Amino acid sequence: MLAHPELSIRRITRIVVASAAAGMATWSMAVPGVLAFDDPAAKETAPAESAEQIAARKLLREQSVARISGVRIKGRETEKRVVELVKEPLIAYTDEPLCIDAATVWTWTAKKEGRPLALCKVEHYDVVRLARAGEWLYCFTSLAPDLIHAEWPDGHQWTARKPGVSFQNVPDAGPPGETPAARLRQMKELSRQFTAAFDFNQKNKEELRLLARPLYRYADSDAGIVDGAVFAAAMNGTNPTAIFLIEAQQQGTQTVWQFGVAAMTDGAVVVNYDGKEVWSKPALHAPGVSFDTWTYFFENAKKQ
């Protein structure tokens, strides 16, 4: 059970939404691999927060952290290693059209600063404005090379039936740079070659917007990953929907650029690279269903 009554959430989240810059909350992020999303221009124009707004932001963060901290992940290749939650969210956002007034994305690794094994959204819905099956929703997708298993504190469980992401060579990409700074510039340039479109039942098609900065940066020399980053294309401004992993991978005596794609939505997603389709998923509206590489569901309040 949470330390604060849920009724207070409905009142305070509107305060947080009003103070979020461009729909994105500005939490402090000081964890290796996690890249901050503070917008200097927004800071200059944003009004100073009141004590009530600061308290509201703190409360929402505590409730989000309490939920994600109870999630446990294991897999065939990771069961003998400790899978750890990265202690800060990769991004915080809101989604006004969907009445999401507070949301975060989290990740886990089996090796410090290594490739993420999974991503999980924790979203809070304003059910006063729009009726939903619950206030809190999880959207979880595997990025792991093996079949991982996840368990939530409310009793939900999920097991992947396929590896989370398959990698392929980035077409016509030059060799990775010699320095981390050079490779980051290259990864950003490669990310801009991706485009993604969201479509739900062919009624609400939307071109997704690439977020300029990667959500997470990583490397793992033991796995042949010289450098890597997680990028996202968002719907409704800042809600991460299509996920791109771009990596400089060691293959024999050569280092080459590769990419993998995932998604965090029940809508259809089509991803193109340089104008050619490279990945897609159909619309699958079925909260609580275990799909091959992902799942999503509303929190079971009875077990809180």
- Predicted pLDDT at 164: 96
- Predicted pLDDT at 49: 67
Q: Sign (positive/negative) of CA torsion 94, 99, 101, 104?
A: negative
Give the C-alpha separation, 187 to 141, whole Å: 22
pLDDT in tens, 235-271: 999 999 999 999 999 999 999 999 999 999 999 999 9
Give the C-alpha separation, 258 to 228, whole Å: 9
Angle (nearest 5°) at CA 47 between 42 and 53 = 110
Structural tokens at position 55: 């308290």
> Would you kindly state where each structural domain of the chain is located, as residue ranges?
7-303
- Predicted pLDDT at 80: 62
Angle (nearest 5°) at CA 14 between 45 and 209 = 60
- Predicted pLDDT at 35: 52
Tell me how far the alpha carbon of residue 145 is from its chain's centroid. 18
Q: Which residues of the chain fall short of a pLDDT of 70? A: 1-47, 49, 53, 57, 76-81, 201-204, 302-304
Give the C-alpha separation, 87 to 113, whole Å: 12
Residues 247 and 259 sit within 8 Å (Cβ to Cβ): yes
